[in-house]
Amino acid sequence: MHITFRVLARNKMRSALTMLGITIGIGAVICTVAIGEGGSQQIRDQISALGDNMVWVEAGGRTVNGARTGNDNTKSLTNGDAQALPAEIPLLKSCSPNSDGHIQVIYGNKNWWTHFRGTAPQFLDIRNWPMESGANFTDKDVETEAQVAILGKTVVDQLFRPGEDPVGKSIRIGGLPFKVVGVLAPKGMTPYGWDQDDTLGMPYTTAQRKLTGQNWVDDIFCSAVSPEAIGPAQDLASRLLRQRHHLRPNEPDDFNIRTPTQFLQAQEQASHTFTLMLASIASVALLVGGIGIMNIMLVSVTERTREIGVRMAVGATERDIQLQFLIEAMIVSLLGGVFGVVFGVFASHLLATTLEWTMQIPPVAIIAAAAFALFVGLFFGYYPAQKASQLDVIEALRFE
């Protein structure tokens, strides 16, 4: 080790340039992994925002004169279905019916056209949607068809003055007076570009009896007990609904069951593939750096041929000479790897600040980078070390 550092110090510029290739390679790999992991984390956050292990049942299509209509055309989903699903399927911990549409909302001299949802109180837990102020409506409100509402942040911004508390205020929805009992926390845009905060909620019985005039529901939102239970719960829910709707074996479903996580998980898989591609491209810099190490070590063997001859003449074995040059290659590569990790972490934070992009550097990436740097030194240093150990002692002593 002492001889290695002495040799590196004797050729500072050459050693620094040799390390630079490894430094850039390791730094590039860490940056690409950080970008990919950041993208994956954003997708995982979107999955979490969609709901708590959500299973979404929506009204399906129907056949009219031999032609299948699109979704949301059947009227067979009922409040009873929403109650039967968690009662008969233990893998579903809660369900909420949903009757929705668009409506005009008025407060004072302001009005806003927005989306409304008639749901059960459990809907907010299913969607992982906390309250910002006030409280959610209750099961009692559902039973009494109470005219109470909870507002999304966009609706609040459009109807109320900045800083004004909407809780306790009376607004008009579809011409009927409603009391605002709570304000939803901001949820932001969906992956499809829809503003989730441009909405208001109310008891589903109120929505059905006083706004839509329908006794069926558009959707049923359910929450599975765990991520692993989503698939089995989906199958059981399909069987139960077919039984409740009296569908014969040859009849198509009059409903659709979706798990929105499937779309985002496909996005996450694409993100992993993209990260792997970027890391593969960045690893080319590591290959170039390794070739640089081999080149410099071969030059070093040529320059130190006489030194090698003297060492062997006074008792150094081939193994000693080989080990000496392998250690030198690995030290150069490892130092380049350390500087590369520092460079990669710094560059990742700089990109995160500049591009406002989430960056995540998993510890395993740093450990893998250091291990790979050692492997590069070992792999590309082996041939020069082998060549040095096989020099003829007499010829090496005669070398000028």
Contacts of 128 (CB under 8 A, 6+ apart): 48, 49, 50, 51, 52
Predicted local distance difference test score (pLDDT) of residue 133: 94
In whole angstroms, give the CA distance from residue 400 to residue 398.
Answer: 6
Predicted local distance difference test score (pLDDT) of residue 45: 67
The angle formed by the CA atoms of residues 99, 104 and 105, to the nearest 5 degrees, is 95
Predicted local distance difference test score (pLDDT) of residue 64: 46
Q: Mean pLDDT for each 10-residue chunk of the chain (400 residues)?
A: 77 81 81 76 65 82 51 80 94 93 94 95 91 95 96 95 93 95 88 82 95 90 88 92 91 84 61 67 72 80 79 83 82 85 86 76 77 79 80 70
Predicted local distance difference test score (pLDDT) of residue 396: 65
The encoded tokens of residue 193 equal 């570009």
Task: Assign residue 193 a region (left: φ > 0; alpha: ψ between -120 and 50; beta: otherwise).
Answer: left
Burial 295-306 (b: 16+ CB within 10 A, else e): ebbeebbeebbe
Strand partners, 55: 222
**DSSP letter string, 271-339:** HHHHHHHHHHHHHHHHHHHHHHHHHHHHHHHHHTHHHHHHHHHTT--HHHHHHHHHHHHHHHHHHHHHH
Contacts of 248 (CB under 8 A, 6+ apart): none
Task: Assign residue 366 a region (left: φ > 0; alpha: ψ between -120 and 50; beta: otherwise).
Answer: alpha
Predicted local distance difference test score (pLDDT) of residue 367: 81
Predicted local distance difference test score (pLDDT) of residue 65: 46
In whole angstroms, give the CA distance from residue 296 to residue 110.
Answer: 76
Predicted local distance difference test score (pLDDT) of residue 379: 81
User: For 15-164, where are the E strands, in sequence order?
Assistant: 54-59, 63-64, 67-68, 92-107, 110-119, 131-134, 148-151
State the DSSP H helix or E strand holding residue 126, giving kind and residue range, or none if neither: helix 123-126
Predicted local distance difference test score (pLDDT) of residue 200: 96
Please, are residues 294 and 381 in contact by the beta-carbon 8 Å criterion? Answer: yes
Does pTM top 0.75 for this prediction?
Answer: no
Please, are residues 371 and 289 in contact by the beta-carbon 8 Å criterion? Answer: no
Please, are residues 117 and 207 in contact by the beta-carbon 8 Å criterion? Answer: yes
Please, are residues 220 and 96 in contact by the beta-carbon 8 Å criterion? Answer: yes
